[in-house]
A and B are shown apart, each in its own frame.
Chain A
Amino acid sequence: MIRYVLARFASLILSLIVASLVIFTVIEIIPGDPAAFMLGVNARPDTIAALRTEMGLDASVPARYLSWVTGMVQGDFGQSYTYRTPVAGMIADRVWVSLPLAVYALILSTLIAFPAGIYAASRRGRPGDMAVMGATQLGVAIPNFWFAMLLVLVFAINLRWFSAGGFPGWDRGVWGGVKALTLPAIALALPQAAILARVMRSSLLDMLGEDFVRTARAKGLSRRQALWRHALRNAMIPVLTIIGLQFSFLLAGGIIIEQVFFLPGLGRLIFQAISARDLIVVESVVMLLVFAVIVVNFAVDLAYALVDPRLRVKG
């Protein structure tokens, strides 16, 4: 067990290092001079050169990589080129929009998907199952940004139940923040719920065909008892993987949704930073997202090992 954890941990560190190298390399290639962009159309070459020196853009590439990595390890994500404030602060502010949004969407999607998937599995082949499957087929096919457009049209513009977007800030009250994140969370959650429901259903159905379930039924348990007591617990394994993957996707994939609802989150930050060629911000935020995903995968792997000893590859 210990060896397994250590192996996974070593792999995590390796992944992080490779990821940071890849990110840094890719971003260094992006053409576009941040200084020229910041100073605008009528700016003179000497002012641009002055700004370049001020921002340290003239140092060598390896030197900048090392200082970036050592800084990050210490929690210093550098200073944004465009905003002139520490990136760590900007990230912290926006994480408190993106993270709750991802969690909210995850909760909604789980709340919808689990009952739907279980219901469909228990009613396999019958109209109930068909209905749920049909709905999920539709849910998977809807582009979430189009769905967001429709939600805004109906609930914000016509019914005026929600505001069309924006985020008042948590300091103005938790309820206000939650309300502002509701439509975005629904738009994000729906396609995910559809996927999750299908996975839940198919995973359960697989389990129901497994030996240990047949044994349970042979022992006299009813179909329902077999479902709940044995199949469900084991069906959770692939479901857990999907949830882990979903969380990463929700965190990063909210970019488009954040644009539609003008939420000041990480997604929009990346977009704006790329447009502004604010390299430090782009590097740091992408690194953070990749870090989050790698860590979540690691956690899921650990959870696997705890739940199912059969899945440990090398003892």
Chain B
Amino acid sequence: MTMSRTLMTASAIALLAGMAAAQDSVTVGIQLEPPNLDPTGGAAQAIDSVLYSNVFEGLTRFMADGSVVPGLAESWTISDDGLVYTFSLHAGVTFHDGTTMDAEDVKFSLDRARAEDSTNAQKGLFAGISDVTVVDPLTVQVTLDAPNGMFLFNMAWGDAVIVAPESIADIASNPIGTGAFSFADWVQGDRIELTRNDAYWGEAPALASATFRFISDPTAAFAAVMAEDVDVFVGFPAPENLPQFEADPRFQVLVGNTEGETILAMNNKMEPFDNVLVRQAVSLAIDRQAIIDGAMFGLGTPIGTHFAPHNPDYVDLTGNSPYDPDRARALLAEAGYPDGFTTTLKLPPPSYARRGGEIIASQLRAIGIEAEISNLEWAQWLEEAFGAKDFGMTIVSHTEPMDIGIYANPDYYFQYDNPAFQQLMTDLNLTTDPAMRSEMLKQAQTIISEDYVNGYLFELAVPTVAKAGLQGLWLNQPTAAVDLTGVSWAG
């Protein structure tokens, strides 16, 4: 009798402990596993998904609504000529290994990022910095070559987080940052574990620990959520399953937007896409809604240009390319291709590309364009399409925020070369007045829409499926991140 009573008590305690434990830890499912843990050394989005704002912080940071707020820099002043930024850092900030974070670390981080041999994937963010000076342990001065209205925005990117010289050697496998969570373990191929940083300088997070699990396969993701193996899945890869989750009281479904403009890129320097009439024909042959329904099961917002619809400066230019196959055929004939032509359609792995590609190929076939599909892995896509520019058309989603500037680079993979647009971008970078910037952005959007540079499909949506009791998750993805600092369990 005593035996079973002890057993019952023990199991009751275990049960309570289990319940209590479940309430301050969370298991997050994401599709891609980071290849390493250095957000400043490689561009994989997955690195930021796990570490941004959780383990690492920058001078400024993104909030859930995309706004840029102070991060490690408590405040700053900008000189009148817009060239010198003086940042005042928070006091008492330490890295996870106990060393203090001060202006020396900021200088180290920025200099490392902009060095000749830097492997930072977004080196361009730091290119305009001419000098970084330590004024005192809590004050650092950054001098730019030319005024840049985007500088504070740029410093919020995951590639600009502050790292320390003491721990930089093995940052790729043992990341030491200043964030609310510290890195605990990485079981490669399976999960990464974070634990609460009790010495965090800011507001303590509600969660004591977090586990990120990497599940790339859509079926496995569905199964994992249904079986409650994960508490939340950010970027759920199978939108067809969402109605099931919505109908299930155990779960909540959040559909937010991202900065991902999904486009059908056309190689502007390759025949026949060098002819604007052909590009226009392609744009008119596409039925955006069919693609959104077929590839994304209804998730996504149609776009008419390379800009995010949720951005206040967005101009709705979808009217420039309505679904009109008859007019498309006429335009093709006018361009000199009455019988259509054959071209390549190279598709990277994501389903918006693979599924979207099949749908688009079918739509183009209807006006006489035969698009030969090649399904490529990311490495191949990078080499063939992005690097060698050996493609006719391709589909990809550009998830960096405010990246309309890529259209000013004639060497960028779709090779659009318009001097007027390039001038506009140069002027834009030098402008800090918000009203003027807004005007110029609108103008930029109109130019690339009317030039039919690419087929503008839709803005990628990010579906998140979570257990009903989880709060504080980001709805939108202004940058790749799963910010857990504000996440907690209800009740």
Give chain A's interface residues, CB within 8 Å of chain B: 31-34, 36-44, 46-47, 50-51, 54, 82-85, 90, 93-94, 149, 152, 156-157, 160, 163-167, 169, 259-262, 264-265, 268-269, 272, 274-277
Known contacts A39-B119, A262-B220; is A163 also within 8 Å of B173 by CB?
Answer: no
- 23 A–B pairs (Cβ distance < 8 Å), ordered by A: A33-B383, A36-B379, A36-B383, A39-B43, A41-B396, A42-B124, A42-B400, A43-B123, A44-B123, A44-B124, A47-B118, A50-B117, A50-B119, A85-B173, A157-B227, A164-B227, A165-B223, A165-B224, A166-B229, A261-B220, A262-B217, A264-B189, A265-B189
Interface string of B162-203 (1 = CB under 8 A from A): 000000000011000000000000011110000000000000
The answer to whether A51 touches B119 (Cβ under 8 A) is yes
Q: Which of A84, A167, A260 has the most CB of B within 10 A?
A: A84
Considering only CB atoms, which chain B residue lies closest to A265 in the complex?
Answer: B189
Chain B residues positioned under 8 Å from A167 (CB to CB): 190
Chain A residues positioned under 8 Å from B396 (CB to CB): 41
Known contacts A47-B120, A164-B229; is A83 also within 8 Å of B213 by CB?
Answer: no
The answer to whether A31 touches B217 (Cβ under 8 A) is no
Q: Chain B's nearest CB lies how many Å from the CB of A66? A: 26
B258 within 8 A of A: no
The answer to whether A47 touches B189 (Cβ under 8 A) is no
> Which one of A31, A39, A85 contacts B121 once the chains associate, using CB atoms below 8 Å?
A39
The answer to whether B223 touches A157 (Cβ under 8 A) is yes
The answer to whether A163 touches B189 (Cβ under 8 A) is no
Chain B residues positioned under 8 Å from A41 (CB to CB): 43, 382, 386, 396
Chain B residues positioned under 8 Å from A39 (CB to CB): 42-43, 119, 121
The answer to whether A82 touches B382 (Cβ under 8 A) is no
A-B interface pairs (CB < 8 A), number? 133
Chain B residues positioned under 8 Å from A275 (CB to CB): 349, 377-379
Question: A134–B194 Cα gap in the complex (Å)?
Answer: 52
The answer to whether B227 touches A38 (Cβ under 8 A) is no
The answer to whether B227 touches A160 (Cβ under 8 A) is yes
The answer to whether A40 touches B44 (Cβ under 8 A) is yes
The answer to whether A264 touches B187 (Cβ under 8 A) is yes
Considering only CB atoms, which chain A residue lies closest to B214 in the complex?
Answer: A262
Q: Chain A's nearest CB lies how many Å from the CB of B450? A: 26
Q: Chain B's nearest CB lies how many Å from the CB of A99? A: 15
Interface size for B (C-beta < 8 A) is: 44
The answer to whether B35 touches A83 (Cβ under 8 A) is yes
Interface string of B205-242 (1 = CB under 8 A from A): 00000000111110110011011010000000000000
Considering only CB atoms, which chain B residue lies closest to A264 in the complex?
Answer: B189
Q: Chain B's nearest CB lies how many Å from the CB of A133? A: 33
Considering only CB atoms, which chain A residue lies closest to B380 in the complex?
Answer: A32
The answer to whether B43 touches A40 (Cβ under 8 A) is yes
Q: Which of B35, B119, B189 has the most CB of A within 10 A?
A: B189
Q: Which of A42, A82, A149, A167 has the most CB of B within 10 A?
A: A42
Q: Chain B's nearest CB lies how many Å from the CB of A151? A: 11
5 closest pairs, A vs B, by CB?
A: A40-B43, A164-B223, A264-B189, A82-B35, A32-B379
> Which one of B33, B214, B227 contacts A163 once the chains associate, using CB atoms below 8 Å?
B227
B275 within 8 A of A: no
Chain B residues positioned under 8 Å from A84 (CB to CB): 36, 172-173
B residues 3-26 with Cβ under 8 Å of A? none
Known contacts A160-B227, A264-B189; is A43 also within 8 Å of B379 by CB?
Answer: no
Known contacts A93-B187, A259-B217, A260-B219; is A276 also within 8 Å of B224 by CB?
Answer: no
B267 within 8 A of A: no
Chain B residues positioned under 8 Å from A42 (CB to CB): 43, 121-122, 124, 400
The answer to whether B190 touches A166 (Cβ under 8 A) is yes
Question: A93–B383 Cα gap in the complex (Å)?
Answer: 31
Chain B residues positioned under 8 Å from A46 (CB to CB): 116
B322 within 8 A of A: no
Considering only CB atoms, which chain A residue lies closest to B412 in the complex?
Answer: A42
Question: A54–B349 Cα gap in the complex (Å)?
Answer: 28
Give chain B's interface residues, CB within 8 Å of chain A: 33, 35-36, 42-44, 116-124, 172-173, 187-190, 213-217, 219-220, 223-224, 226-227, 229, 349, 377-380, 382-383, 386-387, 396, 400
Considering only CB atoms, which chain A residue lies closest to B185 in the complex?
Answer: A169
Q: Which of A165, A166, A167, A276 has the most CB of B within 10 A?
A: A166
Q: Chain A's nearest CB lies how many Å from the CB of B154? A: 13
The answer to whether B187 touches A83 (Cβ under 8 A) is no
Q: Chain A's nearest CB lies how many Å from the CB of B439? A: 27
Q: Chain A's nearest CB lies how many Å from the CB of B410? A: 15
Chain A residues positioned under 8 Å from B227 (CB to CB): 156-157, 160, 163-164
Q: Chain B's nearest CB lies how many Å from the CB of A162? A: 8
The answer to whether B36 touches A277 (Cβ under 8 A) is no
Considering only CB atoms, which chain B residue lies closest to A169 in the complex?
Answer: B187
The answer to whether B224 touches A164 (Cβ under 8 A) is yes
Question: A37–B377 Cα gap in the complex (Å)?
Answer: 10
Chain A residues positioned under 8 Å from B217 (CB to CB): 259-260, 262
The answer to whether B223 touches A37 (Cβ under 8 A) is no
The answer to whether A163 touches B229 (Cβ under 8 A) is yes
Question: A91–B377 Cα gap in the complex (Å)?
Answer: 23
Q: Chain B's nearest CB lies how many Å from the CB of A160? A: 6
Q: Which of B187, B190, B386 has the most CB of A within 10 A?
A: B190
Q: Chain B's nearest CB lies how many Å from the CB of A165? A: 5
The answer to whether B226 touches A157 (Cβ under 8 A) is yes
The answer to whether B189 touches A94 (Cβ under 8 A) is yes
Chain B residues positioned under 8 Å from A47 (CB to CB): 118-121, 123
Question: A256–B44 Cα gap in the complex (Å)?
Answer: 25
The answer to whether B383 touches A31 (Cβ under 8 A) is yes
Question: A42–B403 Cα gap in the complex (Å)?
Answer: 11
The answer to whether A43 touches B121 (Cβ under 8 A) is yes
Chain B residues positioned under 8 Å from A157 (CB to CB): 223, 226-227
Known contacts A36-B382, A42-B43, A260-B219; is A166 also within 8 Å of B224 by CB?
Answer: yes
The answer to whether B400 touches A272 (Cβ under 8 A) is no
Known contacts A82-B36, A164-B226; is A38 also within 8 Å of B189 by CB?
Answer: no
Q: Chain B's nearest CB lies how many Å from the CB of A145? A: 11
The answer to whether A38 touches B215 (Cβ under 8 A) is no
Considering only CB atoms, which chain A residue lies closest to B387 in the complex?
Answer: A36
Question: A265–B377 Cα gap in the complex (Å)?
Answer: 21
Q: Chain B's nearest CB lies how many Å from the CB of A280? A: 14
Q: Which of B116, B123, B215, B227 has the most CB of A within 10 A?
A: B227
Considering only CB atoms, which chain A residue lies closest to B400 in the complex?
Answer: A42
Chain A residues positioned under 8 Å from B33 (CB to CB): 272
Question: A265–B224 Cα gap in the complex (Å)?
Answer: 18
Q: Chain B's nearest CB lies how many Å from the CB of A178? A: 17
The answer to whether A262 touches B215 (Cβ under 8 A) is yes
Chain A residues positioned under 8 Å from B172 (CB to CB): 84
Question: A125–B188 Cα gap in the complex (Å)?
Answer: 52
Beyond A46-B116, A47-B121, A260-B219, 16 additional contacts (C-beta under 8 Å) are A37-B383, A40-B44, A42-B122, A47-B119, A54-B119, A83-B35, A84-B36, A163-B224, A164-B220, A165-B220, A166-B190, A167-B190, A262-B216, A274-B377, A275-B349, A276-B379
Considering only CB atoms, which chain B residue lies closest to A90 in the complex?
Answer: B188
Q: Chain A's nearest CB lies how many Å from the CB of B477? A: 17
